[in-house]
Structure 1
Amino acid sequence: MSPLTYLSGYPPATLDQVRRLIDDGRLGDYLAQRYPERHDVQNDKALYTYAAGLKQAHLRNAPMLDKVLYDGTLDTAKRALGLHTAVSRVQGGRLKAKKEIRIAALFKEAAPQFLRMIVVHELAHLKELAHNKAFYQLCEHMLPGYHQYEFDTRLYLTWRDLQGR
């Protein structure tokens, strides 16, 4: 895998800056300086509470969440950092959709801003299914500076790959 797989859509000037950080061995230091703390959302119950709180604060009219959990099987190489699903089941004479959010388990050891970015991203899919302008506006509303956090999360994933994790 190319070291900049997670950054493939960014301009060449930005990629050159990232390559310089990598070549100088300073990418990890940059991330540690910018995001020194770690969160304490370490289990599925705490993650559900965390996501439900964000949903309540920003998306009161969105469907209820039935399940939120860390998933160790999500493949970050295929860009699956989180996943939102609606599992439909027939109950009685009704069709009921259960909303689930799965977050890649690697976010257990990430900075709180990275966890919040991925949870906000998946919550935004409750309102907007496509990655369109309205979707990213909703993400920015729920997390000001969303685009910078998304970029830094991609830097973090790049650094993890370079570390062989």
Structure 2
Amino acid sequence: MRYLTGYSEAVRAQMQAIHARQGLGRLLLARYPAPHGMRTDRALHAFVTELKTEHLRRAPPIDKVLYDSKLQVVQHALGLHTAISRKQGARLKASREIRIASVFKDVPHDFLQMIVVHELAHLKERDHDRAFYQLCESMEPRYHQLELDLRLYLTHLEATGERLWSGSGSSGAHAGADPQPAAGGRL
């Protein structure tokens, strides 16, 4: 259960027992019965912009938001924020992008919101430190629980290849958001 390595032994043991009974999928479907409806880059951009406007008004603007099908394989991450500097005449222009792994097209709204909050927090805090996770919690109070549940889904996906909310059952290479969780995690 590589996605749960930073959690306590008790949490890992409990999740291992559920996983051994093939119960992770049922647990997650009970908690999150339906996927979100944001299937296009345009809908994702509107969602990210709305969250940014609500929580980070003074943060720099985001120029591009999109689902990236190569992200989980190439970058070993589920979301990516970049600031690209381009020369425009004698000045440098910074362009900010947020790329979300395409695996998030077929997940519940809460999981998408958690990863978007994570990437938006990087606009203000670069490192995964206490201030970063406090900012994530201020934007999404259930951030740590959602992170744990997302890690459980990734564990289920890696073990079975079953995408719970798409019905396609397709598998692929998947990676975790961060190597270590922010807190011990609740159940």
- TM-score interval, smaller chain: over 0.9
1:158 equivalenced with 2:163 (yes/no): no
- Counterparts of 1:59-78 in structure 2 under 5 Å? 59-75=56-72
Q: Which one-letter code corresponds to 2:86 in the other structure?
A: R
State the match for 1:40 in structure 2.
37
CA drift of 1:106 comes to 0.3
Number of corresponding residues: 162
- 1:79 deviates by 4.5
More helix by share: 1
Q: Deviations over 1:67-110 (max 9, x none)?
A: 00000001269740100000110112110110000000000000
Which of 91, 96, 109 aligns to 1:94? It is 91
Q: Write out the 4+ residue segments of structure 1 that deviate beyond 6 Å after TM superposition.
A: none
Unmatched tracts of structure 1, length 5 or more: none
Higher RCO, 1 vs 2 (CA within 8 Å, ≥6 residues apart): 2
Q: Which of residues 32, 48, 52 in structure 1 aligns to 2:49? A: 52
Amino acid at match of 2:8: P
In the alignment, structure 2 segments of 5+ residues that lack a partner are 162-170, 172-187
Q: Aligned to 2:71, what secondary structure does the other structure show? A: coil
TM-score of the superposed pair, with normalisation by structure 1: 0.95
Quote the residue 1:146 is aligned against: 143
Output the CA distance in 2 between the equivalents of 1:30 and 1:97: 43
Identity of aligned residues (%): 54
Normalised to the residue count of structure 2, the TM-score between the two structures is 0.84
Deviations 1:115-134 (A, max 9, x none): 00000000000000011111
Instruction: Find out whether 1:134 has 2:128 as its counterpart.
Output: no
1:2-46 CA-to-partner distances (Å, cap 9, x unmatched) read xx1111111111111111011111110000000112101101011
Measured after TM superposition, the shift of residue 141 of structure 1 is 0.5
What's the CA shift for 1:162?
Answer: 1.2
Letter in 2 for 1:155: L
